Structures are given as structure tokens and as C-alpha cells.
């Protein structure tokens, strides 16, 4: 089983990261892919990935920080892409919930990073919050070869166009929340070969662990919930979503 999106360089793990990694391996959640919000964070993720054979990472600028984008940032991202341990550009996209960067800047930076990823044949990990239409408008113009909508919370009708284009959806512990009926409906209607699993840890702990810090080993709970929704066994979900992730990230 693969946790395709975990923020292992977050300060939440500064005191016990090795124990977190050990619990993940004991739960057979390995390899892991580190998500980042900035290129400085990506530097730390690359370093960590070089220390552990079962860790890869991504690099990119989160929409919260889009105002930081400069020509220098662009060159740094391109350099990161050349690193063997970097397997995707992300997480990038649009966030209209917090609007921590102006929306026009978010759109411009998202489009530029999509183009860089496409130019380098890199998969793209997309963050979109309350911005699905603008996200799609930008994606459909560039049409990157590989894209996953991370932490998908959209209703199926609002996200279906991504599936129609051949892209994937990734689901977190939010699908286990009692009030997450719409997300579970999207899981039910999404073909299993288009689904990946992620914790987005240390955030969004599954219902069983609500109130606690999230960690990669909890991917197992997400797989169980997907299995229930899809009327499949957890073993089948493990095998198929792992195969999806291996193919997507080429790990």
C-alpha cells in the first residue's frame, strides 16, 4: 500500500519521524511520497528521500504561496525536477477558500507550473479548493499527460471531467467522516483504476483517529473505507491502488 501524499517534513514529526516511518512499514504502507508546499520544503523532502530508499517526493509551489513565484523559483523547480527522487510536480493549484495569494497570481503560477511539468513529462499533483471550474479551465488548456486531484472532496458531477480526460483522484481519511456522503458517492462512481490513497498527514486523520495527529500508517483505514464503498476486499483495494500509484509516479 502506498501513501501517495504525506507531509513528512512538517514540524509535527520533528520529534519522532523515525518511529512514524517504522509504524508505516509495519503496517505495510510503503513506499511513501512526500508532498510539499514550497521549494524550501522540497529541499528538505529531497534530503529525507535520499536517506530512505522507500521515500520519494514532489516539488512545487502551493497556491497559498503563489505570490513568492519568481524567475529564480522557476529555475529552482526545474533543478528539482532533474533529481531522481522527485517524482511529481506538486502540490500546485488553486485555493479560493483562504485566498492567501491573489487569485490572478494563483492562476498564473498554476498555469506556469503545469506547463513546466508537461515540458518535462512529470506527473502533476493538484490542490483545488472552492476553485474547481477555474482549475479545470487551466488544466484543459495545457492537458498535462498525468494528473491527480489530491484530497478530492468534490461531488462526482463536479469532478467527472477530470476522469473523462483520463486523470486520477486521490482520497484521504475524510471519506471516513460520518458527514462525507458526497465524497463516498464520488468514490463509488470513480473507476477503481483511477483511485489513489493518501493521508495528507499530519492533517485529516481518519475517523478512528480523530483528534490525533495523522500519519502514513493510517492509510490502511482509508483503504478499508474504499473497500466498503466499492464492495471489494481491502486486499483488492491495496493491490489496485498500489498499482495505480506505481504507474502514475513511475516508482
Check whether domain 3-249 has CATH 3.20.20.140, yes or no: yes
Task: Look at residue 194 in the predicted model and tell me its pLDDT.
Answer: 98
Per the structure block, which three cell numbers stand in for 32? 511513501
Task: Look at residue 246 in the predicted model and tell me its pLDDT.
Answer: 98
Task: Look at residue 97 in the predicted model and tell me its pLDDT.
Answer: 96
- Domain extents in the chain: 3-249
Task: Look at residue 146 in the predicted model and tell me its pLDDT.
Answer: 98
Tell me the backbone φ, ψ of residue 147, rounded to 5 degrees.
-150, 140
Task: Look at residue 26 in the predicted model and tell me its pLDDT.
Answer: 98
Residue 162 pLDDT grade (very low, low, confident, very high; cuts 50, 70, 90): very high
β-partners of residue 3 are 32
* Residue-wise DSSP of the chain: --EEEE-TTSGGGTTTHHHHHHHHHHTT--SEEE--SSHHHHHHHHHHHHH-TTEEEEE---GGGGGG--HHHHHHHHHHHTSTTEEEEEEEEEETTT--S-HHHHHHHHHHHHHHHHHTT--EEEEEES-HHHHHHHHHHH--SSEEETT--S-HHHHHHHHHTT-EEEE-GGGGSTT-HHHHHHHHHS-GGGEEE---TTS---GGGTTS---GGGHHHHHHHHHHHHT--HHHHHHHHHHHHHHHHT-
Q: How many residues does the chain have?
A: 251
Task: Look at residue 110 in the predicted model and tell me its pLDDT.
Answer: 98
Predicted confidence (pLDDT) per residue in 11-63, tens digit: 999 999 999 999 999 999 999 999 999 999 999 999 999 999 999 999 999 99
Residue 184 pLDDT grade (very low, low, confident, very high; cuts 50, 70, 90): very high
Task: Look at residue 50 in the predicted model and tell me its pLDDT.
Answer: 97
Task: Look at residue 18 in the predicted model and tell me its pLDDT.
Answer: 97
Q: Mean per-residue pLDDT for 217-227?
A: 98
Cell 479548493 belongs to residue: 129
Average pLDDT, the chain: 97
Task: Look at residue 125 in the predicted model and tell me its pLDDT.
Answer: 98
- The share of the chain scoring above pLDDT 90, in percent, equals 100
130, 97 contact by CB (below 8 A)? yes
Taking alpha carbons only, the member of 209, 173, 249, 234 closest to residue 1 is: 234
Task: Look at residue 124 in the predicted model and tell me its pLDDT.
Answer: 98
Task: Look at residue 41 in the predicted model and tell me its pLDDT.
Answer: 96
Q: Mean per-residue pLDDT for 165-173?
A: 98
Q: Mean per-residue pLDDT for 139-146?
A: 97
Predicted confidence (pLDDT) per residue in 87-124, tens digit: 999 999 999 999 999 999 999 999 999 999 999 999 99
Q: Mean per-residue pLDDT for 224-245?
A: 98
Taking alpha carbons only, the member of 248, 231, 158, 146 closest to residue 197 is: 248
Amino acid at each position: 500500500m502506498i501513501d501517495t501524499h504525506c507531509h513528512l517534513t512538517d514540524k509535527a514529526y520533528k520529534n519522532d519521524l523515525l518511529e512514524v516511518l517504522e509504524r508505516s512499514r509495519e503496517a505495510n504502507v510503503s513506499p511513501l511520497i512526500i508532498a510539499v508546499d514550497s521549494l524550501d520544503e522540497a529541499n528538505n523532502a529531497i534530503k529525507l528521500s535520499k536517506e530512505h530508499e522507500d521515500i520519494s517526493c514532489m516539488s512545487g509551489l502551493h497556491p497559498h504561496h503563489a505570490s513568492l513565484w519568481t524567475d529564480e523559483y522557476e529555475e529552482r523547480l526545474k533543478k528539482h525536477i532533474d533529481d531522481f527522487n522527485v517524482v511529481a510536480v506538486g502540490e500546485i493549484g488553486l485555493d479560493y477558500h483562504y485566498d492567501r495569494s491573489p487569485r490572478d497570481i494563483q492562476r498564473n503560477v498554476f498555469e506556469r507550473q503545469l506547463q513546466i511539468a508537461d515540458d518535462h513529462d512529470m506527473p502533476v499533483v493538484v490542490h483545488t479548493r472552492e476553485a474547481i471550474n477555474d482549475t479545470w479551465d487551466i488544466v484543459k488548456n495545457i492537458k498535462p499527460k498525468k494528473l491527480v486531484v489530491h484530497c478530492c472532496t468534490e461531488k462526482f458531477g463536479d469532478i467527472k471531467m477530470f476522469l473523462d480526460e483520463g486523470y486520477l483522484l486521490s482520497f484521504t481519511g475524510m471519506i471516513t467522516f460520518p458527514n462525507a456522503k458526497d465524497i463516498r458517492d464520488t468514490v463509488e462512481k470513480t473507476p477503481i483504476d483511477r483511485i489513489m490513497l493518501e493521508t495528507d498527514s499530519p492533517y485529516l486523520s481518519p475517523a478512528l483517529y480523530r483528534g490525533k495527529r495523522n500519519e502514513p500508517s493510517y492509510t490502511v483505514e482509508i483503504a478499508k473505507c474504499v473497500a466498503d464503498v466499492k464492495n471489494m476486499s481491502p486486499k483488492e483495494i491495496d493491490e489496485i491502488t498500489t498499482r495505480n500509484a506505481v504507474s502514475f509516479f513511475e516508482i
